[in-house]
Chain A
């Protein structure tokens, strides 16, 4: 018996218990708690959004010279408690993602030194395209499925002369958090030509891409992609991921 067979046989001895009545009751109980957490999280997200809007209105600059205050980076994120907090190692942004999502961070991509983190609902986030110069800031959409939902935050350093993608509108400094998907409107199809394969371009809706500018200096881009066959639940989760995003403190 070789090593593979020995390890398999040793592990396969482990019993596989049939679910007992107690186990089934445990599932029902946990489902009840999970439903309440989800409802609570959504309520909290709604309340937080209302509170932040009220706060933003209250502290917005007045003609008489009052100073505006950006929302603190450590605002409480209204996501379920079992979501993981991911910190982008280069940018310092944080986001919270569901346990079944995967994330990938990348640093100093190409000449514009793009860094960031991308999260995907159903599998490994796509790599960047490898073009003739082996360098691209576009993701390889052939590596993701039509059911996927993705969220990304990247830097867009202005010192390299890069402008925001066409179709997006620059927002003023002192961006207010949490960011919300709802303010952007209906999905638009990912523009042809930004992905290598026609099939891939037809598979994605590029819902939301918003520049985020902090203190008029550092620029970032938050983007959400919905696969055409993605579920409502995953899209809702994407909204919570976006709402949980916070820029680096300081």
Chain B
């Protein structure tokens, strides 16, 4: 796979993940551009990996978590909605807004865990690898995050651990 091909294939996916972690479209794009820049400089090596997309996701997610934690700002309650855009069936859009609000209330790492597990459909072990933490930590973070999201989406819902 050439560098141009992987940019075409992965750019949008990575921006989406980064944006859900940092809640800022511009920063998300900067983070992804920086990730691709690192890959470009070492493409002779990274291009030969079995899963260069996994490397890109790892660097993007960790950088997004770092950037978000470094900013140390609380997101205003309506900022998540302003910075993100939704288009789809009304029920999904409503859930989208609620999930965004729920995400805004989570820690950065919990948010990253939710995005990788629920959006990227990665198994627990891979989420742990991407974030550089243990599988036990991921399970704990995910359980807490899901409980909070479940409360928002359905106050009567009883959470079951993954």
Chain A residues with CB under 8 Å of chain B are: 3-4, 6-19, 23-24, 26-31, 33-35, 38, 82, 84, 99-103, 123-124, 231-233
> Using a CB-CB cutoff of 8 Å, which residues 39-80 of chain B contact chain A?
40-42, 45, 55, 58-59, 62-63, 66
B106 interfacial contact with A, CB 8 Å: no
Total number of A-B contacts with CB less than 8 angstroms?
128
Least CB distance from B10 to A in Å reads 9
A27-B33, A232-B45, A233-B45 are known; give 10 further A-B pairs, CB within 8 A: A3-B146, A4-B118, A6-B153, A8-B121, A11-B115, A14-B96, A99-B62, A99-B66, A103-B132, A124-B134
Contact residues on B (Cβ < 8 Å of other chain), bracket: 35 or more
Least CB distance from B81 to A in Å reads 12
A26: nearest residue on chain B (CB-CB)? Answer: B33
Do A23 and B37 form a contact, CB below 8 Å, given A15-B16, A15-B87?
A: no
**Contact between A14 and B16 (Cβ–Cβ < 8 Å)?**
yes
Contact of A19 among B12, B34, B38, B55 (CB under 8 A): B12
Least CB distance from B101 to A in Å reads 11
**Contact between B118 and A8 (Cβ–Cβ < 8 Å)?**
yes
Please measure, in the bound complex, the distance between the C-alpha atom of A14 and the C-alpha atom of B16, giving whole angstroms: 7
Please measure, in the bound complex, the distance between the C-alpha atom of A8 and the C-alpha atom of B43, giving whole angstroms: 32
**Contact between B11 and A233 (Cβ–Cβ < 8 Å)?**
no
Please measure, in the bound complex, the distance between the C-alpha atom of A57 and the C-alpha atom of B95, giving whole angstroms: 67
**Contact between A124 and B12 (Cβ–Cβ < 8 Å)?**
no
B85: nearest residue on chain A (CB-CB)? Answer: A15
B100: nearest residue on chain A (CB-CB)? Answer: A10
Please measure, in the bound complex, the distance between the C-alpha atom of A46 and the C-alpha atom of B135, giving whole angstroms: 39
Contact of A23 among B11, B59, B159 (CB under 8 A): B11
Contact of A10 among B34, B37, B95 (CB under 8 A): B95
